[in-house]
């Protein structure tokens, strides 16, 4: 069984409950779609776990901003990435690891990106909002998914799955989907450390053969919020965790 995690954003409380659940489930391989850091208060500790445990850990837009200094962030995100850079200064090996991140990875029939197949670092896979957008997504899957079947994506912090038959959004009553071999799908796994679908619980996915499971787990949000405030990061970054936005 593999676990696909994304957008941890230096949230140790969220990552801890996710890893604990994965160990109980028997996960043998951890794939991370990027944004290990940024926004959150524990970049050093979370970065070291990513470095040690994840067989894939992609270059997200926050890793790119971290190592290049170039971004189009809002002021809160910009302040957080500058603060993050200061926190990582003492660990040269971890810094070098962040610099070496790649924008995408391929494993057999799986493609992994942070953003989308068109721009793996920055582009967003948006959940279709109407039948026209839904058809456009189906066209993308039919025309542009060549050489791989499933594309796992992060960046939008929202879990859903787009297939050639339509889009499916997981909920507490239905979190497991069987994807037949050879079927094409975009699978957005949501965010471990900063969910934005108005569900404050940590989000990630596991894949066991053809069986895809979307998971949601509560974690100690108040602890993370207190650490954000203590670090001097913007209050909005604490508040949004309590609202799932």
Binding site for Fe ion (CB under 5 A): 7, 35
CB of 216 to Fe ion, least distance (A): 17
Q: Which is nearer to Fe ion, 7 or 63 (CB)?
A: 7
In the complex with Fe ion, which residue's Cβ is closer, 33 or 231? 33
Rounded Cα–Cα distance for residues 78 and 92 (Å) = 22
Which is nearer to Fe ion, 13 or 64 (by Cβ)?
64
Which of 10, 185 has the CB closer to Fe ion? 10
Q: Least separation, in Å, of the C-beta of 38 and Fe ion?
A: 7
DSSP of 106-151: EETTEEEESS-SSSTTT---PPP-SHHHHHHHHHHHHHH--S-SEE
Residue 7 or 42: which CB sits closer to Fe ion?
7
CB of 157 to Fe ion, least distance (A): 6
Q: How many whole angstroms separate alpha carbon 209 and alpha carbon 82? A: 41
State the minimum distance, in angstroms, from the CB of residue 5 to Fe ion.
12
- Distance of CA 53 to CAs 23, 37, 127, 217, 235, Å? 12, 15, 30, 20, 31
CB of 156 to Fe ion, least distance (A): 8
Taking the C-alpha atoms of residue 97 and residue 162, their distance in angstroms, rounded to an integer, is 32
Contact present, 169 and 127 (Cβ < 8 Å): yes
Chain position whose Cβ is nearest to Fe ion: 35
Question: CA torsion sign, 92 to 98 to 66 to 18?
Answer: negative
């Amino acid at each position: 069984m593999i676990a696909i995690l994304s957008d941890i954003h230096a949230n140790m409380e969220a990552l801890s409950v996710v890893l604990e659940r994965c160990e109980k489930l028997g996960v043998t391989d951890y794939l991370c779609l990027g944004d290990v850091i940024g926004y959150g208060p524990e970049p050093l500790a979370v970065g070291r776990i990513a470095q040690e445990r994840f067989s894939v850990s992609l270059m997200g837009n926050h890793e790119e901003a971290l190592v290049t200094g170039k971004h189009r962030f809002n002021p809160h995100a910009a302040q957080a990435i500058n603060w993050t850079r200061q926190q990582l200064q003492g660990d040269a090996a971890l810094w070098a690891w962040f610099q070496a991140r790649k924008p995408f990875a391929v494993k057999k029939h799986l493609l992994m990106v942070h953003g989308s197949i068109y721009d793996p670092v920055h582009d967003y896979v948006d959940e279709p909002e109407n039948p026209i957008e839904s058809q456009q997504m189906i066209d993308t899957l039919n025309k542009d998914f060549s050489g791989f079947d499933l594309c796992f994506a992060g960046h939008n912090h929202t879990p859903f799955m787009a297939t050639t038959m339509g889009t499916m959004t997981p909920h507490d009553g239905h979190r497991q989907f069987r994807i037949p071999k050879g079927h094409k799908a975009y699978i957005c796994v949501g965010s471990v450390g900063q969910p934005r679908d108005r569900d404050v619980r940590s989000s990630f996915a596991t894949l066991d053969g053809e069986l895809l499971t979307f998971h949601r787990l509560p974690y100690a949000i108040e602890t993370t919020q207190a650490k954000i405030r203590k670090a001097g990061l913007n209050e909005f970054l604490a508040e949004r965790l309590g609202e799932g936005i």
